[in-house]
Structure 1
Amino acid sequence: MAPPRLAGAPAPCRGPLSWLLALAAGLAQAASLAWPGPGGMKGQPLWWLQILSLALLARVLLAAGGARRGALLSWLFATAWLAGTFWWLFISMHTYGGLAAPLAVLAVLGLAVFLGSYYAAASALFWTLRPYNRSSAAIVFAALWLLAELARGQWWTGFPWGAGGYAHTDGPLAVLARWLGVYGMGLAAALLAMGLAQWRRADLRRPRWWAGAAVLVLAWACLAAQRHCAIEGCGAPAPQHAPLSLALLQGNIPQDEKFQPGSGVPMALQWYHDQLRAADAALVVAPETAIPLLPQQLAPGYLDAIAERYGKGAQALLLGIPLGSLEQGYTNSVLGFAPDGRRPYRYDKHHLVPFGEFIPPFFRWFTDMMNIPLGDFDRGALDQPSLAWAGERIAPNICYEDLFGEELGARFRDPQSSPTIMANLSNIGWFGDTVAIDQHLAISRLRALEFERPMVRATNTGATAVIDHRGRVSHRLPSYQRGVLHARVQGRDGAVTPYAWWVSRLGLAPLWALGLGVAAWAWLLRRKT
């Protein structure tokens, strides 16, 4: 006996069209995160395309006719979405890592298939619960989608790159960032997508539909007004800091030469040496591994000259450099120098990149197939202090650490010591001149929205930029050009956002509880029918 149809479900569709629609929807979901824009911009987020593509999947899922087929269709969608989002991993493994092209392709697809299984499981559970009421179906779908996103973002060290919420940095759902963060934005998008998938023309003749739409618009208007007042002050003066002058260095050292002793290493040492001597700004920031050698591998006096240069005067420096030794272990670190007589500030990267910065158990055979320098770092602590300078508390993070807002949020537990400025030091030259650069910029923008703190970015190849506390890019260097970005940034102090308050204390547990609670509620309702 065939299972009952889901709420709002169209007639079952079992032909090849459903597979083509799921594939197309997944590719559209990837495109929504970084759509080619005008003026040579490679990746602009399109919030409406993210909702429409997810709504197309929801429509296909409703017509699947059963849990098994629904899971497979969602797996195809998620595999296309994820492979289309981080396809540039192929460049790091093949072009720069030396892995054979077929193996690199299989590795990217294998990762997408593995991570896509979370969404397949969520869709199978959705069909198993089979909510009959359309509102219940939308709520259950959104909750299960949230659980899949959380699992991808946290299990096996987490790889949430390309989460649906990142398409909404410029959209109406951005008002939720200060309350619920990127996963809450994705939850809202999934709720709207399933609602759109179930929409019928006859709904326009029902007062209940118009009442629901009015409630949503009113709720959005209230959140938007509250966010505006929190940022702008609305009569009460918002905390003001004097603008801080910046010099953000972008060395554009070719990735295939960066760690070569006869080419990239001397090039980097000379260029950054010259720029650090000439910089004329209150805060100078050089990217991740700007100095590509351990301190003991440098020429005598090289690092001492930098410390002396920034140990006096009115300038501070954040410098990306590996620290430690090959014998006792090393860290991917940031050294900070400021003219206050203290020892140099130090930050060690906490969230390491699997295969690139640490080797997961049983996978050394895979990393041995590639040429990755300094591929097994030690891990830093989660909540490390900020660099106090010029009335600001500057909190560095390295590379894709800003992908984990719940970890950056640990620094906001005490408003009196919480960061006033965040600084991302990156080198994603491993991924070539691709949309990875713009995707990473969108990630940093969303962190600025969540915490309402500015984010400055110093990178090897891009995107070197300044993002204000509203999540807007105020200054940016062209990617893949050597240069220095001179700009100003205004730190933010005072009360932390609701998201920063709860995530600093509870992590993502409230969102897990919400998703699991809705799933349990749907299961209980199912048992009663």
Structure 2
Amino acid sequence: MKDLMFASFFRHYLPWLLIGGLLPFTFAPFDQVWLPYPLFALAFCMLPTLARRNLRQFALAGWCLGFGFFTVGVSWVYFSIHDYGNASPTLAGGLTLLFTALLSLFFVLQFLLLGLSFRYGGLSRLAARRQVLFGGLLFAAVWVLFEWVRAWLLSGFPWLLLGEALPASSTGGWMSGWAPVAGVYACSLLILLMALALGLVINRLLERIRNTAESPPAPDSTGLPSWPDYTFAVLVLALVLGGYGLSSVQWTSANGPVLSAALVQPNIAQALKWKSSEQDRIVRTYIDMTTPIWDADIILWPETALPLYQHQAVNLLKQLGQRADSEQAAFFTGILTVSESDAGEIQVHNSFIGLGKASGQYDKQRLVPFGEYVPMQSILRGLIDFFNLPMSDMRPGRTEQAPLTMQLNSSGETYTVAALICYEVVYPDFVASQAADVDLMITVSNDTWFGRSIGPLQHLQIARMRALEQQKPILRGTNNGVTAIIGADGIIQDRLAQFESGVLRGEVQPRQGATPFARTGSMPILLLCGLLIVGVVLQARRA
């Protein structure tokens, strides 16, 4: 019995686990952007076998894929739990695996919907080549829908969206033209459709090899593509060429002159950040690093730069604002602020403020679970240090907040700025709603929590995709990396090395206007995926 169980696992589920485990190498820092095509082509060739299985087996295959995907792709969670939660390696490893196992439930739901679509469409009764084509189309549409589901269900975790691998190449790839038109989910769909085209070719070759061993040959076993295959290949080719053509379209335009920017990266150890004995030293570090750069149009400090609340730093902020004003500079910094709710409750916010020639305040809306708030805190508080991290009892800001502004006398222009604090940049539609009518995006972060892991580099790659979707530049300021200036095409113009203190000086071109994606969000591509599922199921039932 055990031998049969192991044989079943190795045959039916291990391939899905391996596909999931290899897929994260598509993303930064590995940037193997070719990898999804053979991996998903293999997955599509396995669909005829999967189509004959029950829903429980569909769910298990999905869980295996998800567990491999998240265990490798978000392994950086371990560093937060071990290094800053003071958990032993065994406990940190166990909690990380529990976290990725729970995240894998997204893929369980995804494969259950896929299995229901297979069952209702009657795919198991079709020829293998039709199962690959119809099943692959269903797989692609369901995959994209669940990338979107991951962006909002249970506060959302839209990390490692397939389309975000595009900015890995210097030009964003020949599909990058679709990003400002339809967003990251459209790019995910196109990658899957291209992989399906490869899967159809591989499946036909395998079928031809099997047929050459038969005598007489099986009917319709020429090994040549059929008309549906031709039609699909032409459609995919048209989409690819369309993306290449769209990459030259400028949906936004320059607004005013190029501005100089200076981004401060202090590289302050997280273990020292909130120690009262370190406050004066940290403040002095920032001031000393800023003294030589007051000539810049924009000066940026990172997320929660000062180990003080805003009301504790009134005099310091006043001095900084006066200096920035006298130097004709727009000064921005992340800082903790306090407000009082309608019920009289004191609330702490992770905020971003402008001083000098900049003005306004933005309170972070999308908080990080466990880092900024603790779900079920009455149960989890006190269990281990990880559930008692500093500043893990914050409140989200209001949903309607005005953008920050800059009024620079050197250019004579007034600019609007969208602030995105840390984790907020990973939400495609949220960024679209914030950035549609601004001239510049600024994102600040403190990725120190993730140590020397792949997390900060993935975070940078995600920010590049947001710039590409909006065709707006991004200034990205961090405590210890990766501090960068990202152009409106998603290309990094300049960056600082991680784990070093320094100032990144460069230029940024504000841009006005909005991309189609900024106006419509992801709804068109989601509707397309829904229609694709319905259409394929109905066609399969008639086949």
Same fold? TM cut 0.5: yes
Hey, what's the Cα distance between the residues in 2 that align with 1:82 and 1:492? Answer: 36
Is this contact kept in 1: 2:259–2:297, CA < 8 A? yes
| Other structure's SS at 1:267 match | helix
Per the alignment, residue 189 of structure 1 pairs with 191
Per the alignment, residue 404 of structure 1 pairs with 427
Structure 2 residue 495 is matched with structure 1 residue 476: yes
State the shift of 1:307 in Å: 1.9
**Residue range with higher mean Cα deviation, 385-394 or 467-476:** 385-394
Hey, what's the Cα distance between the residues in 2 that align with 1:246 and 1:320? Answer: 16
Per the alignment, residue 328 of structure 1 pairs with 346
Q: TM-score, normalised by structure 2?
A: 0.83
Percent identity between the two aligned chains = 28
Alignment of 1:33-72 (within 5 A): 33-34=27-28, 43-64=29-50, 65-67=52-54, 68-72=56-60
Per-residue Cα deviation, 1:313-372 (whole angstroms, up to 9, x for no partner): 3101111110117971211011101338xxx42111111001111122356415652241
| Other structure's SS at 2:299 match | strand
Structure 2 residue 297 is matched with structure 1 residue 282: yes
Hey, what's the Cα distance between the residues in 1 that align with 2:432 and 2:236? Answer: 29
Of residues 377, 391, 397, the one that matches 2:394 is 377
Larger-Rg structure:
2
How has the CA–CA distance of structure 1 residues 222 and 19 changed in structure 2, closer, same or farther, with 3 Å as cutoff?
Answer: closer
How has the CA–CA distance of structure 1 residues 90 and 129 changed in structure 2, closer, same or farther, with 3 Å as cutoff?
Answer: same
Is this contact kept in 2: 1:74–1:120, CA < 8 A? yes
Could you tell me which amino acid in structure 2 is paired with residue 398 of structure 1?
Answer: I
Of residues 220, 228, 241, the one that matches 1:221 is 241
Structure 1 unaligned segments of length 5 or more: list them.
Answer: 1-12, 35-42
Per the alignment, residue 211 of structure 2 pairs with none
Structure 2 unaligned segments of length 5 or more: list them.
Answer: 1-6, 209-221
Hey, what's the Cα distance between the residues in 2 that align with 1:436 and 1:145? Answer: 23
Is this contact kept in 2: 1:147–1:515, CA < 8 A? yes
Query: Which structure would you say has the larger RCO, counting Cα contacts within 8 Å and 6 or more residues apart?
Result: 2
Is this contact kept in 2: 1:99–1:369, CA < 8 A? yes
**Residue range with higher mean Cα deviation, 287-296 or 124-133:** 124-133
Per-residue Cα deviation, 1:360-398 (whole angstroms, up to 9, x for no partner): 235641565224111111211234322222333221111
Q: TM-score, normalised by structure 1?
A: 0.86
Per the alignment, residue 5 of structure 1 pairs with none
Per the alignment, residue 74 of structure 2 pairs with 86
State the shift of 1:157 in Å: 0.7
Is this contact kept in 2: 1:45–1:166, CA < 8 A? no
How has the CA–CA distance of structure 1 residues 206 and 21 changed in structure 2, closer, same or farther, with 3 Å as cutoff?
Answer: closer
Is this contact kept in 1: 2:331–2:357, CA < 8 A? no
Per the alignment, residue 3 of structure 1 pairs with none
How has the CA–CA distance of structure 1 residues 310 and 189 changed in structure 2, closer, same or farther, with 3 Å as cutoff?
Answer: same
**Residue range with higher mean Cα deviation, 44-53 or 83-92:** 44-53
Hey, what's the Cα distance between the residues in 2 that align with 1:184 and 1:440? Answer: 20
Per-residue Cα deviation, 1:65-113 (whole angstroms, up to 9, x for no partner): 4133333122111111111111111111121122343333233222222
Structure 2 residue 357 is matched with structure 1 residue 339: yes
Hey, what's the Cα distance between the residues in 1 that align with 2:160 and 2:239? Answer: 27
**Residue range with higher mean Cα deviation, 43-52 or 13-22:** 13-22
**Residue range with higher mean Cα deviation, 18-27 or 350-359:** 18-27
Could you tell me which amino acid in structure 2 is paired with residue 213 of structure 1?
Answer: A
| Other structure's SS at 2:533 match | helix
Is this contact kept in 1: 2:182–2:524, CA < 8 A? no
Per the alignment, residue 434 of structure 1 pairs with 453
State the shift of 1:214 in Å: 4.0
Hey, what's the Cα distance between the residues in 2 that align with 1:449 and 1:499? Answer: 10
Per the alignment, residue 355 of structure 1 pairs with 370
Could you tell me which amino acid in structure 1 is paired with residue 298 of structure 2?
Answer: L
Could you tell me which amino acid in structure 1 is paired with residue 304 of structure 2?
Answer: T
| Other structure's SS at 2:510 match | coil
Alignment length (residue pairs): 490
Of residues 9, 14, 33, the one that matches 1:20 is 14
Is this contact kept in 1: 2:134–2:540, CA < 8 A? no
